[in-house]
Structure 1
Amino acid sequence: MPMNYARENVISLASARAQRSGKPKPELTLIVRATNVQADGEVHRHIGLNSAMSLDELHKVLNIVFGVGGEQSPWRFEDQFRQPLDPSETLGEFLLGAGDFLFYFWGLWQINLHCVEFYPRDNGTPRALCIGGSGGLGTDFDQASINAELTGTDTIRDVLSSVRPEVIDLVDRTGVFDFIPLLQALDLKREPLIDAIRHRTCRTLPVENSAEASDAFWSCVLALSCLGNDELFTEVIESTMGTLGWVADDGSPLRAPEITSACATSLAILAELGGYGPQQLAPVDRLDIYRELLCF
């Protein structure tokens, strides 16, 4: 048997068990690698998708992330056995676990969809989000523009309606769309489980009065809300402050120690609350603090 035939017809044991069980499947976030292979190169996209979305909705998402949605062309999905699929069926019926795959055809293009990972999701998780990619089908890869189109104007307005004006101003001035999915995922309309003392203290921050200190503090809060490591925190605050136009006295880019020093008093108070520094609370408790800081 040819190796490529065997590889394309492997049946996921996890998928088979799930199909036999008949139990309702919880909604998940699927991390899907979408690839278009041509003789002169490859185009890749990594996308976070709601497992409950229909294949018809997925068709629209793929057209956006690959930049091919401007024309009407025949399209279809096929399963791993090359059988056509009903567009009304949901993605989670076919990508049930890591290693499962589908095929998407749009005109003459073929895009291979492989499930890489999956995670539980909540109401704040975006239905579709492009988290990386390279190459393009006639256009350059522009992740921010892709995600802005995926999210939609109404959703962006709804997300920002719950955000403090200072943060909206910062996001607007940076033009960094990546903050919108972050704020959406934080679900700022959720009632924070935070005590009265922490609530009052959060409402006083930042305590510094300068514009630079305010931008530094909110850059730090947004970076902390990512729940990443120190490297990610540094990358986010340095890139954000640089995009906002803040520089050191000698004109060089601001580095993380200078940025945190600009809002040192506020960060010290945040550390006392458990939202910063070596004595941080558990992630779920820190998120409640960050929600309280960011919500309007």
Structure 2
Amino acid sequence: MSYGVTDLARARARRAGTPIQLRREPLTIICQVANIRADAEVHRQIGFSDALTFNELHRVLSICFSLPKEDSPWHFFEHVDARGARIDPRHQISQFLWREGDQVDFSWGLWDFEIVVAEIYPRDSGTPRALCVGGSGSLFRNFDLTAINAELTGQETIAEVLNMVAPPVRRMIERTKLYDFVPLLQALDLNRPVEVSRPTRHTLRSLPREVTPEGQDAFWAMALALSCLGGKELTDSVVETAMEALGWVDDDGRSLTGEKIRALCSSSLSQLERVGAYGPAADSPVDRLDVYRALLHG
């Protein structure tokens, strides 16, 4: 997808080597970043604002690939059919990556990386500036998605976001150290005004209905998972990971399945279904988001 036609000012600036500023709202770029060698491959899928400079992108890549904090030379390069001219790191990413398939190259010491645009999305004020959404392989340290995103987000932002959420949600994230939830909560934009009826607010204040610690944890894990607005597979994956990190297992010692977790908080889920936030007859995604914002906000 390409957003807009060729910008003559951008083209002239690239030829002149002059950094320019965006004249539109920033977009989120999802890039496939790869280090490919004869004996191994390392991949990361990274989303970031195209308003970042290449200086800032260097920091993002260093975190995502766990590059050592040493003074190794690094550069970005244009790429058409092969490596091209070196890019001034003061340039904004939007000057070079603005269509799916666009590519730039990055070198750090003796390591080379390809950066290819996979998708482009609109973004809003709640979207994190940079987020690692997946990957495989490693160069210097084992791939740890949670640790990477915690470092990308920063401790100050993590604290700020956790101060906005309901205390049980904050405690659950702190207990599990699953700081991957922080970018999700950022994206939810919890301070945005919500349109939720008084009866719905009354119902939400009564949750969770469960009285056991396991049932209450199951509910808040489900609330976070459901706020992703994904399908059953994604919801199950998120909630199973959260409950495992909390230390809850089935009677036979195995990990709890999504179905078992739903059963643990079925009373609360029935209330979410009653207000249109869950189940086969759930309201539109926009309306459900308002319910989850109201539920998760502190």
TM-score w.r.t. the length of structure 1 is 0.90
How much has 1:236 moved relative to structure 2? 1.9
Q: Give the Cα separation in 1 of the matches to 2:3 and 2:174.
A: 43
Q: Say what the alpha-carbon RMSD is for the aligned residues.
A: 1.9
Which residue is 2:276 aligned to?
Answer: 274
Which segment drifts farther, 235-244 or 221-230? 235-244
Correspondences of 1:133-144 after superposition (within 5 Å): 133-144=135-146
How much has 1:212 moved relative to structure 2? 1.2
Which residue is 2:267 aligned to?
Answer: 265
Which residue is 1:58 aligned to?
Answer: 57
Q: Is 1:174 the counterpart of 2:179 in the alignment?
A: no
Correspondences of 1:11-26 after superposition (within 5 Å): 14=2, 17-20=5-8, 24-26=23-25
Counterpart amino acid of residue 18 in structure 1? T
The unaligned stretches of length 5 or more in structure 1 are 1-12
Which segment drifts farther, 247-256 or 232-241? 247-256
Correspondences of 1:106-185 after superposition (within 5 Å): 106-185=108-187
Q: Give the Cα separation in 1 of the matches to 2:137 and 2:258.
A: 32
Change beyond 3 A, Cα 1:277–1:56: same
Which residue is 2:191 aligned to?
Answer: 189
How much has 1:122 moved relative to structure 2? 0.7
Q: Secondary structure at the match of 1:280?
A: coil
Q: Give the Cα separation in 2 of the matches to 1:186 and 1:76.
A: 35
Change beyond 3 A, Cα 1:251–1:104: closer
Counting matched residue pairs gives: 284
Contact 1:60 1:69 in 2 (8 A): no
How much has 1:126 moved relative to structure 2? 0.7
Contact 2:163 2:170 in 1 (8 A): no
Correspondences of 1:61-80 after superposition (within 5 Å): 61-80=60-79
Which residue is 1:203 aligned to?
Answer: 205
- Runs of 4+ in structure 1 over 4 Å off: 13-16
Contact 2:27 2:121 in 1 (8 A): yes
Q: Give the Cα separation in 1 of the matches to 2:159 and 2:38.
A: 42
Contact 1:76 1:104 in 2 (8 A): yes
Q: Percent identity?
A: 46
The unaligned stretches of length 5 or more in structure 2 are 11-21
List per-residue Cα deviations over 1:256-286 (Å, max 9, x = no partner). 2322222212111110111001111111110
How much has 1:111 moved relative to structure 2? 1.1
Contact 1:45 1:134 in 2 (8 A): yes
Change beyond 3 A, Cα 1:196–1:120: same
List per-residue Cα deviations over 1:16-39 (Å, max 9, x = no partner). 932248793431110011111222
Q: Give the Cα separation in 2 of the matches to 1:187 and 1:108.
A: 41
